[in-house]
Amino acid sequence: MFTLQAEPHKNATVLRLTGDVLLPDVGQFSTSLEGFLLAPHIRQVVLDLSNTGKMDNSGLGVLISASTRARAHGRRLVLLMPAPHIAELLRSTKIEGFFPTFDSDEELKGYIPDVAE
Protein backbone atom coordinates (compact mmCIF):
# COMPACT_ATOMS: atom_id res chain seq x y z
CA MET A 1 0.00 0.00 0.00
CA PHE A 2 1.27 3.46 -0.88
CA THR A 3 0.34 7.13 -0.78
CA LEU A 4 1.17 9.91 -3.24
CA GLN A 5 1.19 13.44 -1.89
CA ALA A 6 1.21 16.13 -4.59
CA GLU A 7 2.96 19.48 -4.28
CA PRO A 8 2.24 21.82 -7.19
CA HIS A 9 5.07 24.12 -8.24
CA LYS A 10 5.41 26.61 -11.07
CA ASN A 11 7.43 24.32 -13.35
CA ALA A 12 6.40 20.87 -12.16
CA THR A 13 4.39 18.79 -9.75
CA VAL A 14 6.32 16.99 -7.02
CA LEU A 15 4.85 13.68 -5.89
CA ARG A 16 6.04 12.27 -2.56
CA LEU A 17 5.67 8.48 -2.65
CA THR A 18 5.51 6.66 0.67
CA GLY A 19 4.79 3.02 1.31
CA ASP A 20 5.23 -0.06 -0.85
CA VAL A 21 4.64 -0.51 -4.57
CA LEU A 22 4.36 -4.23 -5.21
CA LEU A 23 2.41 -6.35 -7.69
CA PRO A 24 -0.98 -5.91 -5.93
CA ASP A 25 -0.50 -2.11 -5.98
CA VAL A 26 0.55 -1.55 -9.59
CA GLY A 27 -2.90 -0.92 -11.04
CA GLN A 28 -3.69 1.85 -8.59
CA PHE A 29 -0.14 3.22 -8.77
CA SER A 30 -0.25 3.34 -12.57
CA THR A 31 -3.61 5.11 -12.61
CA SER A 32 -2.53 7.65 -9.99
CA LEU A 33 0.85 8.42 -11.55
CA GLU A 34 -0.49 8.76 -15.09
CA GLY A 35 -3.27 11.00 -13.80
CA PHE A 36 -0.65 13.47 -12.61
CA LEU A 37 1.57 13.06 -15.67
CA LEU A 38 -1.26 13.72 -18.10
CA ALA A 39 -2.99 16.50 -16.15
CA PRO A 40 -3.52 19.76 -18.06
CA HIS A 41 -0.66 22.27 -17.94
CA ILE A 42 1.80 19.79 -16.41
CA ARG A 43 5.11 19.42 -18.25
CA GLN A 44 7.12 17.56 -15.62
CA VAL A 45 6.40 15.34 -12.64
CA VAL A 46 9.09 14.83 -10.02
CA LEU A 47 8.63 11.57 -8.13
CA ASP A 48 10.32 11.71 -4.72
CA LEU A 49 11.33 8.14 -3.86
CA SER A 50 13.26 8.92 -0.68
CA ASN A 51 10.58 7.49 1.64
CA THR A 52 9.42 4.66 -0.55
CA GLY A 53 9.24 1.24 1.05
CA LYS A 54 9.47 -1.87 -1.06
CA MET A 55 9.28 -1.72 -4.84
CA ASP A 56 9.52 -4.75 -7.09
CA ASN A 57 9.94 -5.10 -10.85
CA SER A 58 6.23 -4.56 -11.38
CA GLY A 59 6.45 -1.13 -9.71
CA LEU A 60 9.48 -0.34 -11.82
CA GLY A 61 7.51 -1.38 -14.89
CA VAL A 62 4.86 1.20 -14.00
CA LEU A 63 7.53 3.91 -13.86
CA ILE A 64 8.87 2.92 -17.28
CA SER A 65 5.41 2.74 -18.84
CA ALA A 66 4.30 6.05 -17.32
CA SER A 67 7.49 7.77 -18.45
CA THR A 68 7.13 6.44 -21.99
CA ARG A 69 3.51 7.56 -22.16
CA ALA A 70 4.39 10.97 -20.73
CA ARG A 71 7.15 11.46 -23.32
CA ALA A 72 4.65 10.71 -26.07
CA HIS A 73 2.67 13.71 -24.76
CA GLY A 74 5.73 16.00 -24.47
CA ARG A 75 6.07 15.51 -20.72
CA ARG A 76 8.75 14.11 -18.44
CA LEU A 77 8.96 11.94 -15.32
CA VAL A 78 11.92 12.81 -13.10
CA LEU A 79 13.07 10.73 -10.12
CA LEU A 80 14.25 12.41 -6.92
CA MET A 81 16.36 10.79 -4.21
CA PRO A 82 15.60 7.12 -4.85
CA ALA A 83 15.87 5.11 -1.63
CA PRO A 84 18.98 2.86 -1.70
CA HIS A 85 17.01 -0.29 -2.54
CA ILE A 86 15.28 1.47 -5.45
CA ALA A 87 18.58 2.86 -6.74
CA GLU A 88 19.92 -0.70 -6.65
CA LEU A 89 16.85 -1.96 -8.53
CA LEU A 90 17.47 0.67 -11.23
CA ARG A 91 21.14 -0.37 -11.46
CA SER A 92 20.49 -4.11 -11.46
CA THR A 93 17.93 -3.79 -14.27
CA LYS A 94 20.35 -1.53 -16.18
CA ILE A 95 17.83 1.27 -16.68
CA GLU A 96 19.18 3.86 -14.26
CA GLY A 97 19.87 6.25 -17.17
CA PHE A 98 16.30 5.93 -18.50
CA PHE A 99 15.00 8.59 -16.09
CA PRO A 100 16.51 11.95 -15.18
CA THR A 101 17.45 11.17 -11.56
CA PHE A 102 18.65 13.56 -8.88
CA ASP A 103 20.14 12.69 -5.50
CA SER A 104 19.26 15.97 -3.76
CA ASP A 105 16.91 18.93 -3.89
CA GLU A 106 19.87 21.12 -4.85
CA GLU A 107 20.65 19.01 -7.93
CA LEU A 108 16.98 19.10 -8.89
CA LYS A 109 16.82 22.87 -8.46
CA GLY A 110 19.59 23.25 -11.04
CA TYR A 111 17.50 21.20 -13.48
CA ILE A 112 14.03 22.58 -12.69
CA PRO A 113 14.16 26.03 -11.06
CA ASP A 114 11.48 26.75 -8.39
CA VAL A 115 10.86 23.08 -7.54
CA ALA A 116 13.28 22.57 -4.69
CA GLU A 117 12.36 25.74 -2.84
Q: Would you say residue 44 lies in a domain?
A: yes
106-115 pLDDT, tens digit per residue, is 898 888 876 7
pLDDT band of 27, cuts 50, 70, 90? very high
Q: Would you say residue 71 lies in a domain?
A: yes
pLDDT at 84: 95
Q: Would you say residue 93 lies in a domain?
A: yes
Question: What domain range is 104 assigned to?
Answer: 2-111
pLDDT at 116: 52
Average pLDDT for 12-41: 94
33-86 pLDDT, tens digit per residue, is 999 998 888 889 999 999 999 999 999 999 999 999 999 999 999 999 999 999
- Written as one string, the DSSP assignment of 28-60 is HHHHHHHHHHTSTT--EEEEE-TTEEEE-HHHH
Q: Would you say residue 117 lies in a domain?
A: no
Q: Would you say residue 116 lies in a domain?
A: no
Give me the number of domains the chain comprises. 1
Read off the CATH number of the domain in which 91 is found. 3.30.750.24
84-106 pLDDT, tens digit per residue, is 999 999 999 999 889 999 999 88
* SS3 readout for 79-103: EECCCHHHHHHHHHCCCCCCCCEEC
